[in-house]
Amino acid sequence: MTGGRNSTTIVKFILLGFSEFPKFTIALFSVFLGIYLVTVSWNVSLIALIRMDSHLHTPMYFFLSSLSFLDICYVTTIAPKMLSDFFKKHKFISVMGCTMQYFFFSSLGLTECCLLAAMAYDRYAAICNPLLYTAIMSPNLCVQMVVGSYTTGFLGSLIQLCALLQLHFCGPNVINHFFCDLPQLLILSCSDIFFFQVLISVLTVIFGFMSALVITISYGYIVGTILKITSAEGRFKAFNTCASHLTAVTLFFGSGISVYMYPNSGDSLSQNKLASVLYTTIIPMLNPLIYSLRNKEIKDALNKCKTRIFSWNY
């Protein structure tokens, strides 16, 4: 590269990753490799369990298996590249490779926003309209909601991709992160990013605000219905069916807001990197645990599966 900032063209970025902790390279690699393997194995196991047990062939578990598949894809867009970079002296990624990584990461993230909203509506139908639940949440509607979540997520990310491909990068080319996230790319761009910022604001309203609105309205009706239940046992059972989903929603949206609603400068860089670790690797690992830990039906299905395996062995 020669010339000044406005006359050069960057073809590669340098991902710093966790290079600020050189003494902990092996430890960090081991931790993230373990998280990735656990994430994939737990989510695959949950999908297999739901498919094998006919008692779990309900809308709620259909959405849960869809979320598990989504989380596998989501973490795989980040983890393999991040893990391979730990022992590389030069952590390069091409501009196109960086752009495509963000495209897939963004697509799956937006899809998860929509899917969490669909799961909130499913809980609303189950608790507020129990007699009509199977009629409301028909198999066709469930499939349409999942396909619609993926389609909407990829279309939203495709719009960002088209705008991102118009940006020009002329230096510097160092990304202080472990993957190609949008805030870092915008900082490095030499182009006018006003249009891009407006576009991101519109997409944030459409996906973030609308998903949060659907979830909030659904749980508003759910809370109202739970408060009308006379028995304490009935209220506890109704709340228990929603607690896992509320936990997953809070973790996902909370960590995302902490990254994208604050500027990427100064001390916030390290904080944003830690928050990014939470929503890109930790949450996909925790989701199967969150949904299974307090779920009697999944525990029963798991016990039946264990009994079946032991009976085969003997």
Pairing state between β 174-175 and 12-15: parallel
**pLDDT in the model for residue 54:** 86
- DSSP, collapsed to helix, strand or coil, labels residue 265 as coil
Compute CA distances 150 → 67, 75, 101, 282, 314, whole Å. 11, 16, 17, 22, 44
Domain assignments of the chain as residue spans, ordered by start: 12-295
**pLDDT in the model for residue 305:** 78
**pLDDT in the model for residue 77:** 95
Compute CA distances 10 → 2, 93, 162, 172, 176, whole Å. 11, 11, 18, 8, 16
End-to-end CA distance of the chain: 69
Q: What is the pLDDT along the chain (314 residues), one digit of tens a residue?
A: 444 445 567 889 999 888 888 889 999 999 999 999 999 999 999 999 999 888 889 999 999 999 999 999 999 999 999 999 998 888 899 999 999 999 999 999 999 999 999 999 999 999 999 899 999 999 999 999 999 999 999 999 999 999 888 888 887 889 988 999 888 888 888 888 888 888 888 887 888 888 989 999 999 999 898 888 888 777 877 787 788 888 889 888 887 776 766 545 444 566 678 888 888 899 999 999 888 877 788 888 888 877 766 665 55
| Residue/partner pairs of 128-134 with CB below 8 Å, 24 or more apart | 128/221, 128/222, 128/225, 133/59
DSSP letter, residue 35: H
Question: Where would I find the H helices in 204-295?
Answer: 210-228, 232-260, 268-277, 283-293
**pLDDT in the model for residue 100:** 94
- Distance CA(308)–CA(311), nearest Å, equals 5
Q: pLDDT digit string (tens) for 277-290?
A: 888 899 999 999 88
What is the residue whose two structure tokens read 């590669």?
12
Q: Please name the fold of domain 12-295.
A: Rhopdopsin 7-helix transmembrane proteins (1.20.1070)
Which of 153, 85, 108, 121 has its CA nearest to residue 279? 108
